[in-house]
Amino acid sequence: MSDVGHVLVLAGGLSYEREVSLRSGRRVSEVLRAAGIDVETRDTDASLVPSILADPPDAVFVTLHGGAGEDGAIRSVLELLNVPYVGADPDACRAAFDKPTAKAAVRSVGLPTPESVTLPKETFHDLGATVVLGRIVERLGLPLFVKPARGGSALGASMVRTAEELPAAMVGCFAYGDTALIERYVEGVEVALSVVDYGNGPVALPAVEIVPDGGVYDYAARYTAGRTEFFAPARLSPEAAAACAEAAVTAHTALGLRDISRTDLIVDAADQPHFLEVNVAPGMTETSLFPMAVEAAGQDLGDLCRTLLRNVANRATR
């Protein structure tokens, strides 16, 4: 018998990351069913709220990526319906989903993060793109990394190695969001640190090292099998691994996150981790980093998800 009752997995949505979300939802549903849990998978359409009101689940596992899945909106609705769910509350989601806000929060508690400029599309056009971009290059230097201030899966993100590449990178970025985050690129080892709270405080799982075949961990590198080589645990010194784990837990705590998160870092030549961004709904696909970290820790993904669901169901009854 299941110890968490009826579970609803939310997947899909209308963001650019819909297909990834559907894959994540399918994977979570599969591992939960294998763990003996009664699982229903639903999209976020007009039938969702009536369905929840008619048959409230004991807990919800949110596998929505981007947009309403990570900006707190769907979680606000779940709270209105008094339905417990895995993950951060709406306020924490809003802070984490906006990359400049998240960078400011972690910087305030002492975590290094690359120097950056946040530029809305209107400012980019109104003040003159050529002049503004020239000043950005003077200020931050090259290379740069450009990405939407909100969103995930590296959609609209690109490396900029020369000043001539920056305008096209900005246009590509604005195709996926109205505000661009332009960061100084930090050379080093890219790692992802998943954080899980089993009920006794957040702990970091082993770091996963990311080595994309083209040098940039873009959308294709993330979700095309064979395009990226992963090492779990990452090939870091013990000191660097410990520093990354501490950084991820610090980011999780500083942003007020809950249950699970994934922090992306760059480790420089001096073994110093630099915060890039945090994800409140980590991908759960076959090529996603969170399941790799769970396996590297010697744990079972289904058991972990069941524990999280049991904890949130118990939390709702207190």
| CATH number of the domain within which 64 lies | 3.40.50.20
Query: Of 160, 184, 208, at which residue does a domain stop?
Result: 184
Cα angle 96-210-110, degrees, rounded to a multiple of 5? 40
Whether residue 317 lies inside any domain: the answer is: no
183 counts as catalytic: no
d(CA 220, CA 306): 31
Residue the block writes with tokens 């819909």: 18
Active-site residue, from 29, 153, 158, 288? 153
Whether 262 is catalytic: yes
Q: Which two tokens stand for residue 131?
A: 């002049």
Catalytic residue among 262, 302, 306, 310: 262
CATH for 124: 3.30.1490.20
pLDDT at 2: 60
Residue 61 domain-assigned (yes or no): yes
Q: Is 17 a catalytic residue?
A: yes
Residue-level pLDDT at 14: 85
> Which entry of 12, 13, 16, 17 is annotated as an active-site residue?
17
Question: Residue 250's domain is classified under what CATH number?
Answer: 3.30.470.20
Each residue of 195-206: pLDDT tens digit? 999 999 999 999
Is residue 70 annotated as part of the catalytic site, yes or no?
no
The verdict on residue 92 lying in a domain is no
239 is catalytic: no
pLDDT the model gives residue 1: 40
Position 317 scores a pLDDT of 64
Residue 143 to residue 140: CA distance in whole angstroms: 9
Active-site hit among 21, 24, 116, 279: 279
Residues 176 and 204 both lie in one domain: no
- Catalytic choice (222, 223, 288, 310): 223
Is 36 an active-site residue? no
Based on the residue annotation, tell me whether 150 is a catalytic residue of this protein: no
Establish if 202 belongs to a structural domain: yes
Tokens 């979700």 -> residue: 223
Record the tokens describing residue 214, joined without a space: 């083209």
Q: What is the pLDDT along the chain (318 residues), one digit of tens a residue?
A: 467 889 999 999 988 889 989 999 999 999 999 999 999 999 999 999 999 999 999 999 999 998 778 899 999 999 999 999 999 999 999 999 999 999 999 999 999 999 999 999 988 777 767 888 999 999 999 999 999 999 876 789 999 999 999 999 999 999 999 999 999 999 999 999 999 999 999 999 999 999 988 777 777 777 677 888 999 999 999 999 999 999 999 999 999 999 999 999 999 999 999 999 999 999 999 889 999 999 999 999 999 999 999 999 888 765
pLDDT digits (tens, 9 = 90+) for 87-143: 999 999 999 999 999 999 999 999 999 999 999 998 877 776 788 899 999 999 999
Predicted pLDDT of residue 136: 94
141, amino acid identity:
G
Same domain, 191 and 299: yes
Q: Which of 277, 288, 310, 311 is catalytic?
A: 277
Q: Please confirm, yes or no, whether 264 is among the known catalytic residues.
A: yes
Q: Could you write out the DSSP letters of every residue in the chain?
A: --SS-EEEEE---SSTTHHHHHHHHHHHHHHHHHTT-EEEEE-SSTTHHHHHHHS--SEEEE---SHHHHSSHHHHHHHHTT--EES--HHHHHHHHBHHHHHHHHHHTT-----EEEEEHHHHHHT-HHHHHHHHHHHH-SSEEEEESB--TTTT-EEE-SGGGHHHHHHHHHTS-SEEEEEE---SEEEEEEEEESSSSEEEPPPEEEEETTSS--HHHHHSTTSEEEESS-S--HHHHHHHHHHHHHHHHHTT--SEEEEEEEE-TTS-EEEEEEESS---STT-HHHHHHHHTT--HHHHHHHHHHHHHHHHH-
Assess whether 227 and 150 both reside in one domain.
no
Full domain range(s) for residue 133: 116-184
The catalytic residue among 13, 67, 152, 283 is: 283
